[in-house]
Chain A
Amino acid sequence: MTAAATAQASAAVALADEIPAPRATGNVLLAVDDISLSFGGVQALSHVSFDIREGEIRAIIGPNGAGKSSMLNVINGFYHPNSGTITYKGTARREMRPDQAARSGIARTFQNIALFRGMTTLDNIMTGRNTMMRRNFLWQALYWGPARREEIEHRAKVEEIIDFLEIQAIRKTPVGRLPYGLQKRVELGRALAAEPDLLLLDEPMAGMNTEEKEDMCRFILDVNAQLGTTIALIEHDMSVVMDISDRVVVLDYGVKIADGPPDEVRTDPQVIEAYLGVTHRED
């Protein structure tokens, strides 16, 4: 190990002493076990296992093409793995449909914002309440009686989220017209509207400037602390990941190469190699 790397490692250890112990002590909310996924000849994920515990912020990192987004897509049902099981809230299964995942409390955002561009901020976030709409089809079709009362209740909840994310001013704006950073925030709002047990964030800070990143970090931490939502996030910005996550899993070419608290992962030679492409091993 070079002198610089050693110094960095010892600094990390020193830092670790000051940071409170990771809160990754809750029950396992979701566990993926031995997941493999391939597209034609490309092996996107091979034999990946890890778990997400209640109340933690869990980061999934790795270089481009490492299989991070594929992993998220497997969790929320967009992709069906070739083998392996997903255990969510104690029930094990090979795959689920995206709408089932949504209904069982998994909400997500996308790497390339996937908002309903023609609809207003308010309507976009209201769609997030979709899984909570209980009134039957006929009532909804008539928009009358219980369905109307229900709509008003949902609307109140959505207003809370709008306040929380500080986007009151753009309530009625079609989201297609909003700047990128705000669109990301609306997308987070839509995911929060479902009151999820597990929130999946695919690069929530990609393409943002420093100020926007800080805002987003604050929102993520607030969601976790105030609402108690378990969060799994993919992020490229290493400093952000190390700052906010409790535990980090590192993927490279579809294989898990490290898993643990940020400081442990940061100094892992395999991780350094994957990111920098240089060998740090000493014999």
Chain B
Amino acid sequence: MGTLTPFLLTPFTEIWGSPVFFAEVVLTGLLTGVMYSLVALGFVLIFKASRVFNYAQGIMVLFAALTLVGLMEHGVPVWLAIGLTIVVMVGLAVAVERLMLRHLVNQPDIILFMATIGLAFFLEGFGEMVWGSNVKELNIGIPDNPVEFGGILLSSFDIIAALTGAVMVFGLALFFQKTAIGRALRAVADDHQAALSVGIPLKTIWITVWSVAGVVALVTGIMWGAKSGVQFSLSLIALKALPVLILGGFTSVPGAIIGGLIIGVGEKIAEIYWGPALGGAIENWFAYMLAMVFLLFRPQGLFGERIIERV
């Protein structure tokens, strides 16, 4: 019994003993979770529209952040630099469609997946060639002060980042549910051929989603980059999106949002309350373990399309 106490008893007495601190942990988790949702959304958009798992999504985050920092180092003002980076990401989307997707139409999914791996290596090399590979500081002037709400301490930067993320996530969700373009995109996601037959140009849709994914990558890059510096490890943040996707389902926008929040809160709670019993640093693997347990029970994710094969 004694060995189980740190797992089964201590965490709950701690939570009970200090509810304000617990609320702080949950809120911090939620704020991080919004950022995970944002990364995951980048994957979901491309996966929905082209059935491609975009391995390069993480590198796109790094590439966008590198471009932004690089421009700012050359004395370009922040807002102009952000605008120019968006132009670069849209340009990247056009190039991906022209040089990659267009030639791989109707190829098996694995071929497209391999192509995105190639794209990832290219972007990594290209980004470092143009902007250099040393760690860069990104400061776009968002204040990082402790803010107190009824005894709960939060970072003002986290709050602003989460708000930005939330606005983007919900804006995109509305965009895809309510507008004609969103409907066209969902149509392409459902059936390429039928979409073509009603006159939806696949190429425009692909460019649109890759551009949106590029902008999402930029926002993610700004937020994480400002926290931990712009360096190669930024691209690994995308790996955190994998458990989020498994949890939420690869094809679901709401799934990406909820999945991100669950992972964000879950890993914070696990780290703070169960971490000591396990020797700490469980934040790094907790999300993956959660996702694997989840796979056992709901392989299609929380909101993913259920795959039923009739035999």
Interface of A toward B, CB cutoff 8 Å = 76, 78, 98-99, 101-103, 107-108, 110, 114-119, 123, 126-128, 130-131, 133, 137, 140-141, 143, 147, 151, 190-191, 194
Contact = CB atoms under 8 A, between A and B. Distances in A.
A151 B180 contact: yes
Given A114-B197, A118-B305, A130 B190 contact: no
B186 A76 contact: no
Interface residues of B, number: 24
B92 interface: no
Contacts of B179: 140-141, 143, 147
Contacts of A76: 197
A123 B190 contact: no
B199 A140 contact: no
Nearest to A116: B190
Nearest to A109: B197
A104 B305 CA distance: 35
Where chain B touches its partner, the secondary structure class is helix
A94 B191 CA distance: 26
Nearest to B251: A118
A141 B193 CA distance: 24
Contacts of B175: 141, 143
Contacts of A118: 186, 189-190, 305
A143 B171 CA distance: 12
Contacts of A141: 175, 179, 181
Contacts of B174: 143
B183 A99 contact: no
B190 A107 contact: no
A99 B194 contact: no
B231 to A, nearest CB: 34
Interface in B171-223: 174-175, 178-181, 183-184, 186-187, 189-191, 193-202
Nearest to B179: A143
Contacts of B183: 119, 123, 126-127
B206 to A, nearest CB: 13
Contacts of A117: 190-191
Contacts of A102: 196-199
Given A123-B183, A133-B180, A114 B194 contact: yes
B190 A128 contact: no
A117 to B, nearest CB: 6
21 contacts: A99-B199, A110-B193, A110-B197, A114-B191, A115-B190, A115-B191, A116-B187, A116-B195, A118-B189, A118-B305, A119-B183, A127-B184, A127-B200, A128-B198, A133-B180, A140-B179, A141-B175, A143-B175, A147-B180, A151-B180, A194-B198
A108 B197 contact: yes
A108 B189 CA distance: 19
Contacts of A131: 198-199
Contacts of A126: 180, 183
A119 B190 contact: yes
Nearest to B193: A114
A3 B191 CA distance: 52
Contact of B198 (A119, A127, A137): A127
B197 A98 contact: yes
A116 B202 CA distance: 15
B166 to A, nearest CB: 19
A147 B201 CA distance: 19
Nearest 8 CB-CB pairings of A with B = A102-B199, A114-B194, A116-B190, A98-B196, A131-B199, A99-B201, A143-B179, A127-B187
A78 B193 CA distance: 8
Given A99-B201, A141-B175, A116 B191 contact: yes
Contacts of A107: 197-198
Contacts of B189: 118
A127 to B, nearest CB: 5
Interface string B151-181: 0000000000000000000000011001111
Given A115-B191, A141-B175, A143-B178, A78 B184 contact: no
Q: Which of A78, A127, A130, A147 has the most CB of B within 10 A?
A: A127
Nearest to A128: B198
A98 B189 CA distance: 17
Nearest to B196: A98
B192 to A, nearest CB: 9
Contacts of B200: 99, 127, 130
